[in-house]
Structure 1
Amino acid sequence: MPWCPKCGAEYVENVRKCKDCGVRLLDHKPTPDEMLPPDPKPTGWRRFVTRERFLRVLKTLIAILLALAAVYSLQGLL
């Protein structure tokens, strides 16, 4: 079973990269010497604006704009 040397997660066969860390997996459970140090905690504005949060807000704004465009196009037909 593949293992992540950064977060220690175990994966199923045929997975090459950790979905959380993005590092290549090892084919065995990593020893303490093989473990990679964790990323430092983000500071400043990066602590609040994560990639996932940014994408969620962007998707919401796109959905709102599409809904407004649909409403305005329907008003033109009436």
Structure 2
Amino acid sequence: MEVLIDLNNKILNNYVITPSGLFSVPQLQFAIAEMGADHVIYSGDYPYLIDTKSRKFLEAAPISDEDREKNRPSKR
């Protein structure tokens, strides 16, 4: 019996994406819509992007509070 693997399911269950640094609302919404907020990591890379930019962007982004909480940068 041949086992068929659903590639979309495999990707959605085993991968995360990091669209960080672009500060684009359509890009963030697309990433969440396609991968789910549990599979999106949004942060900044030191010293290139300072975390306050990521935090401000996510706080203002038109996404659900649940999705925002899943992607909230840590407060260090």
Superposition TM-score, scaled by structure 1 size: 0.22
Pair member with larger Rg: 1
Superposition TM-score, scaled by structure 2 size: 0.22
Determine which structure has greater relative contact order: mean sequence separation of CA pairs < 8 Å that are 6+ residues apart, divided by chain length: 2
Name whichever structure is richer in helix by fraction: 2
